[in-house]
Structure formats: structure tokens, C-alpha cells
Amino acid sequence: MAAHTPPAPRLIADLPSWVLGRAAARGRGLVAAALADEGMRMWHHAVLAAVAERGPVAQAELGRSLAIDPKDMVGVLNELQTEGYISREPDPADRRKNAITATAEGRRLLARCRRLADRANEELLAPLSSDERVQFLALLRRVAFTPDEPATQEATPRQ
């Protein structure tokens, strides 16, 4: 059973930024706990997902796109490579860079993690109807991203 979270101070309880932060923290906690069943951590999952979607991708580009410090990125990539989830090869276009690709095992792990993350997000959004979920995500995108960011494009709804 989850520990009870004490209520926020009244002076901040109705601030959208506070409520959004609490919802994000709850969502991260649910997803992190689900990913732990596969031995994955949040950053490892994010990096593996980005590599699978964009690979082969340069290490520096990957770090910038996920806003991960280069030193932290090296550690995450080292761990993913040690586990056999990614491969790093010199980039044929520029031998000074590494091109990172998801391995077949990495893609299988990512599929398992997606199912776990979907279940965690289902729990997070359980109080909302299907229509409310679509509306909620659309509103969140409008708040979270500036109009010139590619993330403002409509994502495929997952219900």
C-alpha cells in the first residue's frame, strides 16, 4: 500500500505548477516502479527509446535531445551497452563520433517496458474517461511545449 502524501500548504495547493508537479511526480513514481520490474531506470528507458526511434544516432545529439549531461549520458550508454541493449560504432560519416543503435535484445526490452509503462500510465489516468484522457493530453501538450517545438505535434493516442 502506498504511503499517504500529506496535503500541500493552502497557499500553493491551487497553483497549476504545483498540481502539475505533483501529478508528474506520481506518474514518474508509477512508471519507475513498473520499469524496475525489468531492471530498468527512467533515464535508461528514455535513452533506449530514443536510440530505437532515431538510431543510428550520434551520442552528442542523443544527449542534447534528452537534455542529459554528456558525462551522465556516457554512464547510461555504458550500462546499456554492457547489458547488450545498444551498440556503439564509429559513425561512418564522422569517425570522431559514435553512432548508437538499439540491438534486437534492446528492442525486445523496450517493448516489454512499454507495456509496463502503459499499465503504470493507465493507473495514473484511471480517474479520467477515455475522452477526458484525450483532452487532458492535448491540454498538457499546449502547456508543456512552445508552438515551435516538434513535440507539439499530435501524438498517437494510446488508450
How many other C-beta atoms are found inside a 10 Å radius of the C-beta of residue 55? Answer: 19
| CA dihedral (22, 156, 62, 90) positive or negative | positive
How far is the C-alpha of 30 from the C-alpha of 113, rounded, in Å?
Answer: 13
CA 94 vs. chain centroid, Å, equals 28
| DSSP summary character for residue 148 | T
How far is the C-alpha of 133 from the C-alpha of 137, rounded, in Å?
Answer: 6
Q: State the pLDDT at residue 150.
A: 63
CA 87 vs. chain centroid, Å, equals 20
pLDDT tens-place values along the chain, 159 residues long: 456 777 888 888 889 999 999 999 999 999 999 999 899 999 999 999 999 999 899 888 898 989 999 899 999 999 999 999 999 988 877 878 888 999 999 999 999 999 999 999 999 999 999 999 999 999 999 988 888 776 544 454 443
Q: State the pLDDT at residue 7.
A: 80
Task: Measure the CA angle with vertex 112, ends 109 and 116; round to 5°.
Answer: 130
Distance from the first to the final alpha carbon of the chain: 26
